[in-house]
Structure 1
Amino acid sequence: MDFFAQQAHVRRSTRFLVVLFVLAVLFIVAATDVLVVMMWLIWGHHHRLSPSVWVISSIVVVGFIALCSMYRIRSLSDGGKSVAESVGAVPVSPDTSDPQLRQLRNVIEEVAIASGLPVPDIYLMQDERGINAFAAGYSPSDAAICVTQGCIDQLSRDELQGVIAHEFSHVLNGDMRLNIRLMGLLFGIMVLAIIGRQMMWVGGGRSGRLSGDDGRQGLIALALLGIGYTGYFFGRLIQAGVARSRESLADASAVQFTRQTAGIAGALKKIAVLDDGSALQVGNRHEVAHMLFGEADDTYDPWYATHPPLRERIRVLEPGFQNEELVRLAESMRSAPAARDAVSSETTAAAIPAAAGAALLQPTSAIGTPVASLQPGQVGTGSFEHAAALQQSIPTTLTSAAQQPESALSLVLALALSAHDDLQAQQRRTIANAFGDDLQYAVTALASQVEALSPVVRMPLVALSFPALKQLPDGRQQTLLSTLEALVGMDSKVDLDEYCLARLLRVQLLEAMRPRRAPVDGLKKLPACRDSVMLVCAVVAAYGSADDAAARRAWLLAMDQAFPGVAPTWQTPSLDWQQPFERALDDLDGLMPAAKEIVILSLLSAIRADGVISAAETELLRVICASLHCPLPPQSGA
């Protein structure tokens, strides 16, 4: 689905959520005020209740709900991993030798590369036999993808791809931040039920009958329990109302991403026929029900359902679907319990022709592929297969280095080294001063393999390294970022590869360190950022063109897309374009989603000008999209 249209949908969902939450809180406040009157009468006070008591009661209830919501959101401040760990999930090791888990990692890494996102943390709910999954976090940089054991036991590779693509659409479309907020708000309005239940338990333990003060406490507890479960009712309705439409959009996004319906439709069919379905057993499953791929319970309740009915979801994907297909599927699964594709330790990635992988290893400067089909805000149309080819083209020694924190640190520093020997010697001394001689030797050992890489593989390799880099202590991450800045600025000429690497890691690592501070959708309109648009498009045009005249033509096409009818004057970017470019990207990140779409369209107009996408354009586009928090447009070169 269109990312920018989905962003607008998420905004509407947020407003809808706020309205429903306010209504639920008002109802709880009114019910609590009635309870105060009851308590007043039970304790024998028959004179008129002062209005100030009503006001104080209302303020206390609203404040209590707000504090409880803030507490729950605060408890999830670590982002996606805190949500995954709250349901008992365990991380999947990057160097796992288990064939099923290796396949899971490969699928998730392919989707991340195709969409231009950092590889998320990967978690497994080992004790859950149902087929389910969810994505959680505040931004793509702190995202976690969590799947159940049932997913990897029951699904084929295509079906697993469909489920993962569905979850990545939530990462791309900004649903995750809304989901965490929803967890906090629901906790706030449901907490009275928890208090009432505890009071009933304590009161029942101290006295076998309700009399005197214990009787009054029991009545109060019963009233709180009733109010709390009324809040629970409203909370589940809010959860279902916000989630249901977004799940249908995520199904459609998965089809667009994988270019086939059989995968995700097959996963839904298996949920329909298996005894465990998509049900979870963990006690707090309802807290994450709105995040899941399928329903959290084994029975479908239309009032509380967070997803459309299974058969309805399948028919949207496959209009010719008949219920008899489920009967045949159930019979075939009974005769062949291991219904998923065979996975061997030797073959855990998508089947890509060897020639394609070999071609990608050649260090070319351009990819001679037409780019007329590039569209902003969408993923798919070939990018998935290309991402798998990119992943397979990376030497095993480098993918292994990307899996552990210290070796990943050495790898990204090796990627930042200059090709010029004299400058590289200075850079190595800088690395040794920052991290010590041992790490500098490790960087040197990787340098020759990194230098032989195809230019288009560099940024995907950074994406693969990202989960390991996040595990470094904050101080070491900060040292990495400052060292990269020093390497980039070591000579007067800005090296594009070094700059893109430093910018990408700075944006993503800083967001991962402070998940709750990740940027939200901006409000600025395009004319307010005109100079920034002109500069960013000029840099892309200059690096993607053979000469200044070609760059000017590409830039004018971009300007006609962004500001039709305006006749701007072309200026060749200066040699010290880096700092103005940085400020321009930060400025553009404050645009509203519709304006960002125009920026990406303008960049694509510049890229289309000569009919091919160069390695420089590939890297710049990936960095710009990451800085603007947009998905990478589908293309064979990125």
Structure 2
Amino acid sequence: MDFFRAQDRARRLTGRLVLLLLLAVAGLVVVASVLVALAVVLFDGQVMGTDPLARALEPELFGLVALGVLAVVVAGGLVRHLQLRAGGSVVAEALGGRLLNPDARDANERQLLNVVEEMAIASGMPVPAVYLLEDAAINAFAAGHEPHDAAIGVTRGAIEHLDREQLQGVIAHEFSHILHGDMRLNLRLVALLHGILVIGLVGRLLLRGAAAGGRGRSSRRGGGGHVALFGLGAALMLVGYAGTLCGNLIKSAVSRQREFLADASAVQYTRNPEGIGRALQTLAAYRLGSRLMSPQAAEFSHLYFGSGVRHLSRWTATHPPLEARIRRVLPRWDGSLPEPFAPTPKAAPAKPAAGTGQGESRREDLGRALGGAALAGAVVASVGRPDAESLASARRRLAHLDERLVDAAHQPCAARALVYGILMGADPASREAQRRVLDQQALPEVLHELEALEAPLATLAPGDRLPLIELALPVLRQLSAAQFARFRQCLAGLMAAETAPGPLQWALHRLVLTGIEGERRARRDRHLRDLAGPLSLLLSTLARAGQGSPEAQAESLEQAGRALGVSLDLVREAPSAADLDWALGRLVRLAQAERAPLLAAMVCCVEHDGHIAPEEAELLRAVAWTLGCPLPLREATGQGRHGAAR
């Protein structure tokens, strides 16, 4: 399944689940309303000679009670949704996770961060926050609403008992959940199920109130009311927990299928079924298994790599049996498992050798000398589907980056300086003006780091800017509100002081802000035919970056327009950053099905003779990222035109 169909499927599945749960809620509201209305009648104490059920079902009383019960369910779900609004970090912290310092020195923690960074850069998406759960179980999860607020949590048991190959399989599994849109679905399920559970919690409170208020009053006139209150509380508890069971059955059925898909995707991403397969075998042989000790583990059970909690039956299990998962990825498995073992830490992992493989080139090529149409099709097919080549490219890219720049990306002050240095223009006059802006607005310690990075930044190769920004994003997301406000002010000052800002500089600038704040969420209901103006502006910009002569630019734009079925006009003058922001702000509202043709048109505009130069590839990946289309990293075989995208 390709990226765009997977995203569409996730959205349709979300709608169906919401509908099923709403039907369950409707049934619960009816039952609970009848019980509450009946209790109200009984509380009145005037039931002699009347039919209590008939009085309870009177339209006015029943409607009022139904609205009250529905309000309780909606309020409970809304409160939980607001609590989870900040994204995956809320889930990780609720489970007792500790945010890993990107500059961690512990060997196991450093290996985990390296694997996550490699997978993020290979898949062309932001590096997520990484949390460590001090739990001896072997487990992991991915949580969040969008890639920019995603968090990956891994247990201490996993990093101590899985080798690098196995850990890479587990992380690839979690990245599949991010890329296929499972995270948003999972958090919505948490909120909806919490709303249903509130009915049961209200019933429990009523039971406690009836028990406390009824002591010593059984012979008084109000004793009947307390009996009714006790019965109502018990009934609401039963209804609430029955609804929760119903919701869990729906959640579990969907979750099991998503786990199979994530396992298959992990094999596809790494081209190594042994990694994920042996990780599952290790989990099956581990005495502590995947069970988490957190009190809130059950609420998030459908997020985990392993089941994480005990289930009453296979119907409520959120994960398929481990044996079934192993056979899916290792069809020739003979059923044998490692000897059962107890928690004992593994030896510290050795640092992987740099530059494995042949042809260690530092340039990207998204086409491998394919023709224009074939190249565009290959790029679209690769979205959200990193593979072994992407991972190897990311590992080599990270190994060849200057260590001073990599270290800077992991430090709060140095990361800001690194981004400033990357976004400063190549023209000496522009750099002087931009440095004056930073002298006025940036913190002294950040300026000091910028001076220290001038030498390695001067030798930065084309294609290395985007990976460095990706590495810096987790640190930048941790800035305080005041620090981020200053950081954003400095970025705006850099763009304003640039004499001739190029499209790549604009795209990287926008990528930094999108990677920290996310793109403003809007309904994705626009169609290509309605966006001729924004399309002409963006595609003209890409055509100028990829084609030399005005004639070639016009030809590539005309070709893109024919492919899109939209009449496009070549914008000959370079647009401002504000104009490009306007265009992209409208294009992010494209319906999911319309994004693949747009991406293909973007490729046609920048490619020339079947090749994409490193600067052009960086521009294409940056724009695609902000459109929600993560492009995997590829290496080049040819030389790029220096400065083409600047």
User: Which residue of structure 1 aligns with residue 232 of structure 2?
Assistant: 220
SS at match of 2:130: strand
Structure 1 position 557, deviation (Å): 4.2
Query: Does structure 1 retain, via aligned residues, the 8 Å contact 2:366–2:617?
Result: no
Cα distance change of structure 1 residues 259 and 28 upon mapping to structure 2, 3 Å threshold: same
For the residue of structure 1 that corresponds to 2:464, the secondary structure is: helix
Task: Specify whether residues 576 and 30 from structure 1 end up closer, same or farther in structure 2 by C-alpha distance, changes over 3 A only.
Answer: closer
Kindly state the Cα deviation for residue 250 of structure 1 after the two structures are TM-superposed.
1.9
Q: Structure 1 stretch 426-435 or stretch 551-560: which is displaced more? A: 551-560
How far the C-alpha of 1:302 sits from its partner, in A, is 2.2
Answer whether contact 2:203 2:233 (CA < 8 A) is retained: yes
- Per the alignment, residue 77 of structure 1 pairs with 85
Ranges in structure 1 where 5+ consecutive residues have no aligned partner: 512-516
Q: Which residue of 2 aligns with 1:352?
A: 355
Partner Cα separation in structure 1 for residue 256 and residue 41 of structure 2 = 44
Quick one: structure 1 residues 614 and 209, their matched pair in 2 at CA, closer, same or farther if it must change by over 3 Å? farther
User: Are residues 26 and 299 of structure 1, via their aligned partners in 2, closer, same or farther at CA, if it must alter by over 3 Å?
Assistant: closer
Whether the aligned pair in 2 keeps the contact of 1:114 and 1:379 (CA below 8 Å) is: no
Q: CA separation of 1:376/1:122 partners in 2, compared to 1, >3 Å: closer, same or farther?
A: same
Counterpart in 1 of 2:65?
A: 57
Deviates more, 1:439-448 or 1:101-110: 439-448
Q: Give how far 1:350 is off.
A: 6.5
Aligned to 1:542: 544
Count of paired positions: 616
Answer yes or no: is 1:20 the counterpart of 2:32: no
* 1:238 paired to 2:250: yes
The residue that corresponds to 2:241 in the other structure is 229
SS in 1 for 2:463: helix
Question: Which one-letter code corresponds to 2:616 in the other structure?
Answer: E
Task: Identify the residue that residue 250 of structure 1 maps to in structure 2.
Answer: 262
Matches within 5 A, 1:352-371: 352-353=355-356, 359-360=361-362, 369-370=368-369
**Residue 46 of structure 2 corresponds to which residue in structure 1?**
45
Q: Residues 169 and 111 from structure 1, CA distance in 2 versus in 1: closer, same or farther, beyond 3 angstroms?
A: same
Alpha carbons of structure 1 residues 556 and 473: separation in structure 2 relative to 1, 3 Å:
same
Conserved? CA contact 2:121–2:394, under 8 Å = yes
Superposed displacement of residue 300, structure 1: 7.2
Whether 2:107 is the aligned partner of 1:99: answer yes
Counterpart of 1:411 in structure 2: which amino acid?
L
Q: Deviations over 1:157-187 (max 9, x none)?
A: 1221111111112222222222222111111
Partners of 2:498 and 2:67 in 1: CA distance: 61
C-alpha deviation, 1:301, in angstroms = 2.6
> Which SS does the other structure have where 1:114 is aligned?
helix
CA contact (8 A) 1:618 1:637 kept: no
**Residue 343 of structure 1, aligned match among 349, 353, 367:** 349
| Aligned-residue offset at 1:206 | 7.2
Q: Assess if the C-alpha contact under 8 Å between 1:432 and 1:439 holds in 2.
A: no
Counterpart of 2:496 in structure 1 is: 489
1:116 Cα shift? 1.8
CA distance in 2, matches of 1:210, 1:86: 42
Q: Distance in 1 between matches of 2:626 and 2:525?
A: 16
CA contact (8 A) 1:414 1:444 kept: no
The TM-score with structure 2 as length reference comes to 0.88
CA separation of 1:170 and 1:423: change in aligned 2, threshold 3 A: same
Task: Note the 1:206-605 alignment, pairs <5 A.
Answer: 211=218, 212=223, 214-298=226-310, 301-323=313-335, 325=336, 329-331=337-339, 334=341, 343-344=349-350, 347=351, 349=352, 352-353=355-356, 359-360=361-362, 369-370=368-369, 372=375, 373-374=378-379, 375-381=381-387, 382-511=389-518, 518-519=520-521, 522-563=524-565, 571=570, 573-576=572-575, 578-605=577-604
Write the distance in 2 (CA, Å) between the matches of 1:305 and 1:24: 20
* Aligned CA-pair RMSD: 2.9
Alpha carbons of 1:342 and 1:35: their partners in 2 closer, same or farther (altered >3 Å)?
A: same
Q: 1:367 to 1:133 in 2, by over 3 A?
A: closer
Contact map agreement 1:500 1:619 (CA 8 A) in 2 = no
CA separation in 1, counterparts of 2:40 and 2:440?
72
CA separation in 2, counterparts of 1:591 and 1:41?
54
- Cα deviation, residue 205, structure 1: 6.5
Q: What's the CA shift string for 1:210-244, capped at 9, x where partnerless? A: 94355444323221211121122122123223423
The one of 151, 159, 168 aligned to 2:158: 151
Match of 1:125 among 133, 158, 167: 133
Deviations 1:63-120 (CA, angstroms, capped at 9, x unpaired):
1111111111111222111111111111111111111110000011111111222211
C-alpha distance in 1, partners of 2:485/2:343?
Answer: 50
Cα separation, 1, equivalents of 2:632 and 2:445: 40
Q: Cα gap change, 1:179/1:210 in structure 2, threshold over 3 Å: closer, same or farther?
A: farther
Match among 187, 194, 197 for residue 201 of structure 2: 194
Distance 1:547 1:448, change over 3 A: farther
Q: CA offset at residue 288 of structure 1?
A: 0.7
Tell me which residue corresponds to 2:640: none
In the TM superposition, what whole-angstrom CA distance separates every residue of 1:551-606 from its partner, at most 9, and x where no partner exists? Answer: 4454444334323xx7766x364233544332222221111111001111222334
Letter in 1 for 2:514: V
Deviates more, 1:588-597 or 1:627-636: 627-636
Partners of 1:299 and 1:68 in 2: CA distance: 24
| Alignment deviations for residues 175-208 of structure 1 (CA, whole Å, 9 cap, x no partner) | 2222222111111101122233344456556778
Measured in 2, the distance between the counterparts of 1:209 and 1:172 equals 61
Displacement, 1:42?
4.3
CA change 1:95–1:378 in 2 (3 A) is: closer
1:339–1:445 Cα change, 3 Å = closer
Where does structure 2 lack aligned partners over 5 or more consecutive residues? 638-646
1:488 deviates by 2.4
Q: Pick which of 368-377 and 412-421 moved more.
A: 368-377
The Cα of 1:628 is off from its aligned counterpart by 0.8
The structure 1 residue matched to 2:122, chosen from 108, 114, 124, is: 114
The residue matched to 1:613 in structure 2 has which SS?
Answer: coil
CA contact (8 A) 1:416 1:497 kept: no
Contact persistence 1:294–1:307 (CA under 8 A): yes
Q: Secondary structure at the match of 1:330?
A: coil
TM-aligned CA distance change 1:149 to 1:337, over 3 Å: closer
Report the residue type matching 2:46 in the other structure. Answer: H
Looking at structure 2, the residues matched to 45 and 631 of structure 1 have their Cα atoms a distance apart, in angstroms, of 67
CA distance in 1, matches of 2:31, 2:271: 51
Contact 2:179 2:384 in 1 (8 A): no
User: Which letter maps to 1:45?
Assistant: Q
Could you tell me whether the CA contact under 8 Å between 1:179 and 1:291 is conserved in 2?
yes
CA contact (8 A) 2:546 2:607 kept: no
Task: Tell me how far apart the structure 2 counterparts of residues 226 and 210 of structure 1 sit (CA, whole Å).
Answer: 26
* 1:353 maps to amino acid: T
**CA positional deviation for 1:467:** 1.1
Identity %: 33
2:428, 2:451 → 1: CA distance? 12
Distance 2:365 2:277 in 1: 38
CA contact (8 A) 1:481 1:505 kept: no
**CA distance in 1 between partners of 2:333 and 2:312 (Å):** 20
The aligned residue for residue 3 of structure 2 is 3
Residues 371-400 of structure 1 deviation map (CA, whole Å, 9 limit, x = unaligned): 644334332231111111111222222122
Secondary structure, aligned partner of 1:489: helix
* C-alpha distance 243-395 of structure 1, shift in aligned 2 (>3 A): same
Deviates more, 1:45-54 or 1:180-189: 45-54
* Contact 2:504-2:618 at 8 Å conserved across structures: yes
Answer whether contact 2:196 2:244 (CA < 8 A) is retained.
yes
Equivalent residue letter for 1:449: P
Q: SS state of the match for residue 126, structure 2?
A: coil
Is the contact between residue 366 and residue 634 of structure 2 (CA under 8 Å) also seen in structure 1? no
Q: How far apart are the structure 1 equivalents of 2:511 and 2:417?
A: 17
